[in-house]
Structure 1
Amino acid sequence: MSTANPYQVLGVTPQASGAEIKAAYRALVKQHHPDAGGDDTTILALNAAWEVLGDRERRAAFDRHDGAVGLVDATAPGGVARSSRASDGAAARSGAAAQEAIEAWMQAVYGPIDRLLGQVINPFAAQLKGLSADPYDDQLMEVFCDYLELSQQKMLKVETLYRSSAAPVGLEQFSLDLYHCLAQVKDALVDLERYTMGYVDSYLRDGRELLREAKRLRTALHQARRSLA
């Protein structure tokens, strides 16, 4: 799916209303979501297109720039120079707006998600150590189950936050890496809950490995975040 033109990516015309664009975006995301068998590349393209067309000011800026191509009369004195200066100014404003959008998303979406992930991932080692003293002790198992239940509640908040706003242009890969981290944690909690129901060691082992991978991904996201500052 091409990302050259956001209207083409979402399959709408430049005359489409905001509601029509939003409906098209939602339908395509649902159709191509990785959980539904879609591919990551398409999701990145859809998110990038929505980031432009879903914001009134950014859409207007895109329309002005896209529509202005070829309209300057090159034979008019100073026409080319004026066009170049206007393009430079528009590019500078667009760059500043893009950086502001990145910072806003980081603060409103990524920051709260990361804190919640830490509240799930970080206590796991201590919780597992407590349970390992005697996995068949009802009281110890109850404490561990309480941790899992609380963690699942936190992950529901994480999913809501993640879906609340598409990542801005420039954060497509970051958002995708974050999604993979969330998926690891969710799958880990499922396996750990299965372990508590039947004491099947493979579930415990798989859950532990998934959380270890989630911790690694979270650390990588921290490093990527610092590089964006």
Structure 2
Amino acid sequence: MNYYEILQIKSNASSIEIKQAYRKLVKEFHPDSQHKNANHDRIIKLNAAYEVLSDEKNRQIYDQKLRQKLVKSVENRQNNTHHATSYYHHNRKQQKEDESSQFRWLKEVYLPVFNLINKIIYPLDYQIEELSADLFDDRLMLVFTNYLDNCRYQLEKARNILTSQPNPSLYAGIAANLYYGLNHIIDGIEELERFSQTYDEYYLHTGRELFNLAEEISQNASQMAQNRM
């Protein structure tokens, strides 16, 4: 509260108006007035305000300080507005960059890896069915081992893509599922290669189960991706 407000007058009040306002308020707030609004602290403030505003030179100095304070207040508000606007635009820009990064990761990492996993997993049943005609047929086994070689090629390609970009925190769960799925595929390929060398169907069964787990994990990643799109 400035001195004009304390005396309840306008900033362009005349010296007579200042004196009248001061006397009126002193009568109201003076401790000896027996008035219900008597207030010693208020009298101290009234005296300080009147002492400055009743003196022309002191009043000019005081008015100049008020103007400077007003200008500074306006500048502060403008600066605050500028900072708020800059903060908003910065955050909006960052948000757009994050959205762009997230979309790019889905397009350039998730989808290619997901498709490669499917290319590895889905042909397995057909390959096993073809091989079951005669496990000891060298030609059929060659086709099967070529499929496994292609699986390793697709697997390496998927791993390279998955590590080519940092995954956005929003999609950390999706990326984790892709990693888990690829790890199961690695183990599955090793079991299927053991089968191709030993003809022990235990390895065939284990490899197939690992591929099934990889497919389930991959589908979980797909569901998570759809929920976030």
TM-score range, shorter chain: 0.5 to 0.7
CA–CA distance in structure 1, aligned partners of residues 227 and 93 of structure 2: 22
Distance apart, 1:173 and its partner CA: 1.7
Whose relative contact order is higher, 1 or 2, with alpha carbons under 8 Å and at least 6 apart?
Answer: 1
CA–CA distance in structure 1, aligned partners of residues 192 and 145 of structure 2: 9
CA–CA distance in structure 1, aligned partners of residues 212 and 173 of structure 2: 21
| Alignment check: 8 A CA contact 1:181 1:214 kept | yes
Residue 145 of structure 1 is matched in structure 2 by: 145
Residue identity in the other structure for 2:97: A
Q: Sequence identity, in percent?
A: 25
Length-normalised TM-score, structure 2: 0.62
Residue 98 of structure 1 is matched in structure 2 by: 98
Note the residue ranges of structure 1 that are not aligned, 5 or more in a row: 1-74
Q: Whose helix proportion is higher, 1 or 2?
A: 2
Q: Say yes or no: does 1:116 pair with 2:122.
A: no
Distance apart, 1:89 and its partner CA: 2.8
Note the residue ranges of structure 2 that are not aligned, 5 or more in a row: 1-74
Residue identity in the other structure for 2:194: R
Residue identity in the other structure for 1:188: G
Length-normalised TM-score, structure 1: 0.62
Distance apart, 1:204 and its partner CA: 1.3
Aligned to 1:113, the other structure's residue is in SS state helix
Q: Which has the larger radius of gyration?
A: 2
Q: Say yes or no: does 1:190 pair with 2:190.
A: yes
Distance apart, 1:199 and its partner CA: 1.8
CA–CA distance in structure 2, aligned partners of residues 178 and 81 of structure 1: 45
| Alignment check: 8 A CA contact 1:98 1:169 kept | no
Residue 134 of structure 2 is matched in structure 1 by: 134
| Alignment check: 8 A CA contact 1:178 1:221 kept | yes
CA RMSD of aligned residues (A): 2.1
Instruction: Figure out how many residues of one structure are paired with residues of the other and give that number.
Output: 156
Residue identity in the other structure for 1:106: L
